[in-house]
Amino acid sequence: MNAQSLNVLLYGALVYDLADILKCKLSVPVKLRRLKENAPADEIAAGLREADVVIAIKYRDMPWAPRLALLQIPGAGTDQINMAEIPPRTVICNAYGHDIAAAEYAVLGMLAWSHDFIEAHESFKAGSWRMSGRAGAPIHEELHGKTVGILGLGPIGLKTAQLAKAFGTTVIGCNRTPRAVRFIETVYPLDELKAFLGRCDFLVVSIALTPATTGLIDADAFAAMRPGAVLVNVARGPVIDEDALYQALHTRRIAGAVIDAWYDYPKPDDLTVPPSRFPFHQLPNVIMTPHSSIWTRGMVDRRWSEIAANLDAFANGMPLRNVVRAAAPAGA
C-alpha cells in the first residue's frame, strides 16, 4: 500500500472534532475524511467504500468496506464493535491513554463523597455555614483507612489501586484472572465476587463490558454489599444492572454512587437523551457526570499520539500497537 494514498475515515461524533489533533501528530501524509453518524447514508457508504483505515468507537450495521485494512478504535472498549461485520483481513486495534484521567476521577469521586464536598460548596456558596464543623455540622468522612475494592484490573483499575493506596486505604481487587498485584492486598477471582463486595467501603467498577460482565453487579450483588458502601462506575453502564442500581440507591441498600458511565447516550441530532430510564438525577445520594471522566487534555494527547503512531506504523508496514484482533492470514 502506498502511504500517499491512505484514506482515513474518522467516523462518529465522538471523533469528529479531533481530526486536527490527529493531523498534527501524523508523520505520514493521509487523506482524512470525517463523518458523523447522522451524515447522509450515501456519504457514509462512499466513505466506507474508500477507507483504508476507519477510526470509530462504534462499528455496527455499517456499509461494506472493501478496502478496510485497519479499524482503529479510539478507546479501550470493544463493546460497540460488531466483530462479525469487520472483514477478516482487517486488523482491529484499540487505544489507551485514559487510565490516568479515569483513575483520577475515581479517586476524586471517593474523596468528594467522603468529604461531602459538593454539598459543602453549594450550601456555603448559598450563604450557609451549616456544613462547618464549628457550626455543629455532621462530621464527615475521609478516604484514609477505608477499603477500596477494584472490580477489573486493567489499566484504569491498576492506576486507581496505586492512587488509592497512597491515601492509606486497603485496596482489594476482583478480576477474571486473579494475580498478585503490587498495591493490592488480595485479588479475588470473579466467582468470589460476593466475598469481595462484602469488604468494600468503595467499589470502583473498571471492568470491560463483555457478554460475561453485562449485569455482573445485579440485585444479588448489591445484597452482598455493605450498607455504607459507595459505588463508583468508570467502566460502562451495563456492567451494573440498571434497575438494580436505581433500587439499591433509592432504597439506600447502599449509601451512594458516583456515576460516569450510563445506559443511554446523546445522538448527534439529539443531545437531550436521558442517561437512564430511571430518574437518577432526583436521588440525593448520587454524584453524576456525563461520561466526562476521561476527557482530559492529557488523555487526548496520549491517546491520539498512540493512534497517530499506529497509523504511521501501518503506512510504513511496521508492527501495530494494541492489536485486539489480528488480520486473518492471506488465503484464509
Interface stretch with a second copy, choices 123-131, 194-202, 211-219, 320-328 (CB under 8 A): 123-131
Grid coordinates belonging to 284 = 440525593
Cβ count within 10 A of residue 205 = 27
Interface residue with a second copy among 9, 26, 55, 105 (CB under 8 A) is 105
Minimal distance in Å, beta carbon 303 to a second copy? 11
Among the residue ranges 228-236, 238-246, 271-279, 305-313, the one whose residues contact a second copy (CB under 8 A) = 271-279
For every residue of 155-208, DSSP letters joined together read HHHHHHHHHHHHTT-EEEEEESS----TT-SEEEEGGGHHHHHTT-SEEEE-PP
Number of residues that bind a second copy (CB under 8 A): 67
**Single residue of 87, 178, 228, 266 touching a second copy by CB under 8 A:** 266
Is 290 a residue that touches a second copy (CB under 8 A)? yes
17 part of the interface to a second copy, by CB under 8 A? yes
Stretch that binds a second copy, among 3-11, 26-34, 59-67, 107-115 (CB under 8 A): 107-115
Contact with a second copy (CB under 8 A): which of 28, 33, 167, 321?
167
Question: Cα–Cα–Cα angle for 48, 49, 54, nearest 5°?
Answer: 35
Q: Is 264 in the site for a second copy (CB under 8 A)?
A: no
Bridge partner residues of 230 (DSSP): 202, 256
Collect all residues with Cβ–Cβ distance below 8 Å to 306 and sequence separation of at least 6. 95, 96, 97, 321, 322
CA 192 vs. chain centroid, Å, equals 24
The single residue among 88, 189, 274, 316 that binds a second copy, judged by CB under 8 A, is 274
Assess 209 for contact with a second copy (CB under 8 A). Answer: no
Q: Does 38 bind a second copy (CB under 8 A)?
A: no
The pairing of beta strand 7-11 with beta strand 31-35? parallel
- What whole-number distance in Å separates Cα of residue 35 and Cα of residue 19? 11
Q: Amino acid identity of 285?
A: N
Residue among 134 and 179 whose Cβ is closer to a second copy: 134
Interaction site with a second copy (CB under 8 A): 13-14, 17, 100-101, 104-105, 107-108, 111-112, 114-118, 120-121, 123-137, 139-145, 162-163, 166-168, 265-266, 271-275, 281, 287-300
